[in-house]
Amino acid sequence: MGLLKPDQKGDKGQTARQLALLAAIPAILVVAPLVGFFIGDWMDGKTKTAPLLTILGLILGFVAAAKEIMVLIKRGTSSDKKNGQGN
């Protein structure tokens, strides 16, 4: 016997999936702009255009993070609707 009622057993996997998505969002918001910053900084060192490419890389990192978060949100809401939990 589990702690969950029989009709709630499927919710356990869904909750874990949602927690994983929520944990991924802060990581994406930190990593993508940092990668853009360091690539831009490296390119500025090669082309002597500082700080133009660094700023551009940082902005592109934020844009990539926002795009990836939107994909994660859409994936999470579509799986909720597929399982009959969305409205």
Asked whether 59 and 36 are in contact (CB, 8 A), the reply is yes
Mean pLDDT, range 31-40, rounded to an integer: 97
Residue 51: what are its φ and ψ, rounded to 5°? Answer: -100, 20
Query: Taking the model in full, what pTM does it have?
Result: 0.74
* HSE toward the beta carbon, residue 75, CA cutoff 13 A: 12
Greater confidence, 87 or 35? 35
Model confidence at 86: pLDDT above 80: no
Model confidence at 53: pLDDT above 50: yes
- Confidence at residue 4, expressed as pLDDT on a 0 to 100 scale: 45
What are the structural domain ranges in the chain?
Answer: 27-78
* Chain-centre distance for alpha carbon 79: 16
- Confidence at residue 34, expressed as pLDDT on a 0 to 100 scale: 97
What average pLDDT does the structure give for the chain? 84
Q: How far apart are CA 47 and CA 71, in angstroms?
A: 34
> In which region does residue 48 sit, left (phi positive, over 0), alpha (psi from -120 to 50) or beta (all else)?
left
H-only helix segments in the chain: 9-47, 52-82
Model confidence at 3: pLDDT above 50: no
